[in-house]
Amino acid sequence: MIYDKLKKMAVVPVVEIEDSHQAVPVAEALINAGLPVIEITFRTDAALEAIKNIADQYPSFLIGAGTISSVQQVQEAVDAGATFIVTPGVNIPVLTYCRDMKIPVIPGVCTPSDIERLLGYDLPMLKFFPAEAAGGVAMLKALAGPYGAIQFMPTGGISPENLESYLSCGNVSVCGGSWIAAKGLIQKADFEEIQKLGEKAVAQVSSIRAKGQSYAA
C-alpha cells in the first residue's frame, strides 16, 4: 500500500528536473541514502521522461507525480510509471478520475473548506500545502480537532529545522520537501550532496522515532 510506504519513509523528496538524464542519478543517490521515493513535479517538460527513466531502471522505486492539474497528466504520469499522484489543490476532475481508476492520489488542501469538499472521496491522506505559509504546525493542530481522522502530508517550507515539529503532529504521516534533491544541486549534478542530505533526513527520521514521538511509525 502506497500510503503505508510513504508513512514508513516519513519524508518525500520533491524535485523539479530539467534534464531527464539526471533522473536516474538522483534516484540512485536517494536509493543509496535509504530513501527510495520521489515526487517529480510536472513543472518542466522533462518530468514525464524523468519518471519513465526511473521506473524503467528501478521498478520498485516509489514514484509520485506532483503538480498534477489535469486528467491527461494523470494518464501520462501513470503510463510512464508513477504510482501516486499529488495535486497542489482541490481538482475535482483529477480526483474523480483517480477514484474511478483506483489510482492513489494525495490532493492539496489548506483550509477547512478544502477538506470538506473532499470528505466524500474517502482519501486516506491529504497534502497540506503550502504548509508553512498556511499556518504550519499550529494549523495542523487546529485541523486535528474537527478532522481528527485525516492524515496529512505537509509540503512547502519544510526543512531539517522544522521537520521534527511536523512529524510530531499526530495527524502528520509524512512530509514533502525540496531540500534533499534541491533544484540547484540537480543543476550542478551534485548527486553526492543529494545522497548526503538524504542520509541526514533518514537519520533524523530515525532519531525522531526513537524519541517515541506521537506520529505513527
Contact range with ligand ELE by CB under 6 A, out of 1-9, 51-59, 151-159, 192-200: 151-159
Catalytic annotation on 141? no
Residue of 48, 178, 202, 205 interacting with ligand ELE (CB under 6 A): 178
Distance, CA of 86 to CA of 105 (rounded, Å): 6
Cis ω on the peptide bond leading into residue 146 (within 30° of 0)?
Answer: no
Residue of 177, 194, 205, 215 interacting with ligand ELE (CB under 6 A): 177
User: Exactly one of 52, 76, 127, 132 is catalytic; which is it?
Assistant: 127
Single-letter residue type at 32: N
Size of the site for ligand ELE (CB under 6 A): 14
Single-letter residue type at 129: F
SS3 state at 50: helix
SS3 state at 157: coil
Catalytic annotation on 39? yes
198 binds ligand ELE (CB under 6 A): no
**Residue 65 CB, nearest distance to ligand ELE (Å)?**
10
73 binds ligand ELE (CB under 6 A): no
**Which secondary structure element, helix H or strand E, spans residue 61, and what is its range?**
none
Cell matching residue 64: 509520485
Q: Of residues 81-100, which lie at the interface with ligand ELE (CB under 6 A)?
A: 88
Q: Of residues 29-58, which lie at the interface with ligand ELE (CB under 6 A)?
A: 41
136 binds ligand ELE (CB under 6 A): no
67 binds ligand ELE (CB under 6 A): yes
Q: Which is nearer to ligand ELE, 45 or 56 (CB)?
A: 45
Q: What is the DSSP string of 69-129?
A: -SHHHHHHHHHHT--EEE-SS--HHHHHHHHHHT--EE-EE-SHHHHHHHGGG--SEEEET
197 binds ligand ELE (CB under 6 A): no
Distance, CA of 108 to CA of 123 (rounded, Å): 12
Of the chain, the end-to-end C-alpha distance in Å amounts to 15
Q: Which residues are catalytic?
A: 39, 127
Binding site for ligand ELE (CB under 6 A): 14, 41, 66-67, 88, 129-130, 155-158, 177-179
